[in-house]
Structure 1
Amino acid sequence: MPGAHADADSPRVVGTALVQDEASRQVLLQRYPRREPDPDLAARLAVLLTDSGQRLRWSAAPVEDLSCDNGDVRFRIQVRIPPPCAERSCPVLVFYSSACPRPGYHWRPEFFLREGFIYAEPAVRGTRCWEAWARADDGERRMSAATDLEASSRCLRARFIRDGVTPRLGILGWSYGGAQALMGMTRFAGSYDAGFALAAKTDLGSFLLQAPPELRRARADEYGDPATDADRLRAISPITYVDRVQGPIALMLGARDPKVSLSDADVFVRALQARGQDASLMIIPEHAHLTERPEEVVFEHAHILQFLTAKLGPADTDDHAR
């Protein structure tokens, strides 16, 4: 079952998502309403979550540690492969977060393995594997460190070529990982074939200008100060690269998440749609920054899997939750 996370339902991350104009809040909630996921898929995920790895433990199998080089930087990618995909082509779900990947059972990879995805977690610069590595993408280093996203794609496509067929890659993340997902789909367009971002910032400069002073100060070392680092903030924001996007993108935000801007997400999605891109946004009225209640976990992951299955076409394993 999900465990307590510092950014799930604690007072500092439960409030009201930012908007440029308070009058637009209800307009945005109506424009991007909550939709229920496929009930059969949600039921399968609920079974996996309830099982808690007691019986259904594909994710507990030994992992593969794939080494990936990006110039003079080397990092690892932890890979889990479901049994049906050991010898045939399957899509790869690439999950980014600030946490250092660990082996062993976890309900999230179990969800994706059972639905026919290879599950990969790159330990790129910025992940908390050790202190210096966690800070390796702070401030002015972020532009260079972000190229690890592109390198991860190259390494995974090369690793999972089957009979000359290059696998399709999906990219996913929450919060920090959501920003990584959006940069993978924008600045490094073509590296990933579809992306789903949750609780992600789309325009760091705009977000920081809307954010309260204490949050702005807390993020200064990581991102920059909008008063002095406007060019850098523009360069590390997904909105800057919307004209490069090639694949479908879905965003999900919580209306009670004070760490995101609904207005910025609206601008981002509308800019993509104006170019004819496949882009969508869903705002969940009751969700905050990160969610861990079982019903929230199932809701979010059912939508993610519906989207990625539709866009990437995973192998039919016929093994779902057995």
Structure 2
Amino acid sequence: MARVKTLTVRAGLGALLSLGSTGCAHAPVLGAHPDADSPAYVGKALVTGSRSTQELFAAYPRREPDSRLAARLGEILADGGKTLHWSASGSVESFQHGEVTIPLVIRVPPPCQDRVCPVIVFYNGACAPPRYHWRPEFFLRAGFIFVEPHIRGNRCDEAWADADNGSRKPEAQTDIEASGRYVRTRFTRDGVAPKVGILGWSYGGNQTLIGMTRFAGTYDAGFALSAKTDLLSFFQNAPEDLRQARAREYGDPDTEPELLRSISPITYVDRIQGPLALMLGGRDPKVSLSDADVFVRRARARQQDVSLMIVPEHGHLTEQPGEIVFEHAHVIQFFADRWGRPVELH
């Protein structure tokens, strides 16, 4: 088994800082993301296929979440950790994946300290130590263990952030598989393995789709939000300024089409084993609704449990309280339903 380093929260902060962490902190005030309303994040989702935007909206309609669950999440969000703040406690561990050391922030709710609980592995591009935040708080209160791997590509320092750029990305993506396998082993008790889910928004949503396709079987279920399903198709049809801005990280569609195919979830859609949900915004200029439509139809043709919801009013970033509650109520309900668990929030 891989060597484990377990640190206190204070020591964990030092461990992350020792990586040269310059990752972005969460916005200090909900809804205060400086770019949330900019044209780069709110506009019009890409539609290039035979079905129009309105036809896609109708095919994958917006659905209201469970009202009681949404109301409870709203209360937790508004409370801001004053009454209960389980997410402020956690540890930083690391494991070896070949020659690469991957840190993870791990939060375990008190009821799960001595029993097997489902685990949510959350991917994003940041590199923050344990502290209170409403997102892990939601999941901890719902009875999930919450793990955030800082894999290659996370903004821990410049070298780590660039470690998955271009031709390095196919190898760097194996961190997703390694993290899922480590987490399952880490939280197995008396021979009983937990259910392990994968979750992410935007960059993390792409990681989620790769985890459920290229590395199918590593995770039991996945939920991807604001994610691209076909990087080659998206960048072939994206505005030139966006193509140029992302070419160094993902590849140039004119000169490196095979690279983009190799790192795209659509390439591995036939491998999907567990339930997968996607949610996209109709006003998100960083995604293609048409590509998602192709992805879902291919999966369903193989009788795979894949769903898509398009929320017409959502852009790329969802920092407003109403958006946060809407999305997370759907996400928590999805994992609970797929694993036969009642949703009870502490």
TM-score (normalised: structure 1): 0.96
Contact 1:101/1:121 (8 A) holds in 2: no
In the aligned structure 2, how far is the partner of 1:90 from the partner of 1:212?
44
Q: Find the counterpart in structure 2 of residue 20 from structure 1.
A: 48
Q: CA deviation at 1:255?
A: 0.5
Matches within 5 A, 1:168-207: 168-207=195-234
Q: CA deviation at 1:3?
A: 4.9
| Larger RCO (CA within 8 A; separation ≥ 6) | 1
Are 2:165 and 1:138 equivalent residues in the alignment?
yes
Q: Find the counterpart in structure 1 of residue 37 from structure 2.
A: 9
In the aligned structure 2, how far is the partner of 1:295 from the partner of 1:22?
32
Q: CA deviation at 1:276?
A: 0.4
Contact 1:201/1:265 (8 A) holds in 2: yes
- CA change 1:150–1:6 in 2 (3 A) is farther
Amino acid at match of 1:43: A
Q: Find the counterpart in structure 1 of residue 64 from structure 2.
A: 36
Measured against aligned partners, the alpha-carbon deviations of 1:243-297 in whole angstroms (never above 9, x if no partner) come to: 1110011000000000000000000011111100001000001000011110100
Could you list the runs of 5+ residues in structure 1 that have no partner in the other structure? none
SS in structure 2 at match of 1:191:
coil
Q: Find the counterpart in structure 1 of residue 190 from structure 2.
A: 163
Are 2:139 and 1:112 equivalent residues in the alignment?
yes
Are 2:301 and 1:274 equivalent residues in the alignment?
yes
SS in structure 2 at match of 1:280:
strand
In the aligned structure 2, how far is the partner of 1:295 from the partner of 1:49?
10
- CA change 1:21–1:268 in 2 (3 A) is closer
SS in structure 2 at match of 1:178:
helix
Q: CA deviation at 1:162?
A: 1.3
In the aligned structure 2, how far is the partner of 1:181 from the partner of 1:140?
20
Deviates more, 1:188-197 or 1:22-31: 22-31
RMSD across aligned positions (CA): 1.4
Q: CA deviation at 1:101?
A: 3.0
Matches within 5 A, 1:1-322: 2-21=30-49, 24-61=52-89, 63-314=90-341, 320-321=345-346
Contact 2:333/2:343 (8 A) holds in 1: no
Measured against aligned partners, the alpha-carbon deviations of 1:135-163 in whole angstroms (never above 9, x if no partner) come to: 10000000000000011011111110112
SS in structure 2 at match of 1:54:
coil
In the aligned structure 2, how far is the partner of 1:244 from the partner of 1:22?
26
Q: CA deviation at 1:23?
A: 5.7
Deviates more, 1:22-31 or 1:128-137: 22-31
Q: CA deviation at 1:11?
A: 2.3
Give aligned pairs, total: 318
Measured against aligned partners, the alpha-carbon deviations of 1:140-195 in whole angstroms (never above 9, x if no partner) come to: 00000000001101111111011211111110101100000000000000010000
Could you list the runs of 5+ residues in structure 2 that have no partner in the other structure? 1-28
Q: Find the counterpart in structure 1 of residue 25 from structure 2.
A: none
TM-score (normalised: structure 2): 0.89
- CA change 1:140–1:100 in 2 (3 A) is same
Contact 2:31/2:320 (8 A) holds in 1: no
Contact 2:92/2:129 (8 A) holds in 1: no
In the aligned structure 2, how far is the partner of 1:143 from the partner of 1:68?
20
Contact 1:7/1:13 (8 A) holds in 2: yes
SS in structure 2 at match of 1:12:
coil
Amino acid at match of 2:54: Q
In the aligned structure 2, how far is the partner of 1:236 from the partner of 1:265?
16
Q: CA deviation at 1:60?
A: 1.1
Contact 1:126/1:133 (8 A) holds in 2: yes
In the aligned structure 2, how far is the partner of 1:9 from the partner of 1:21?
27
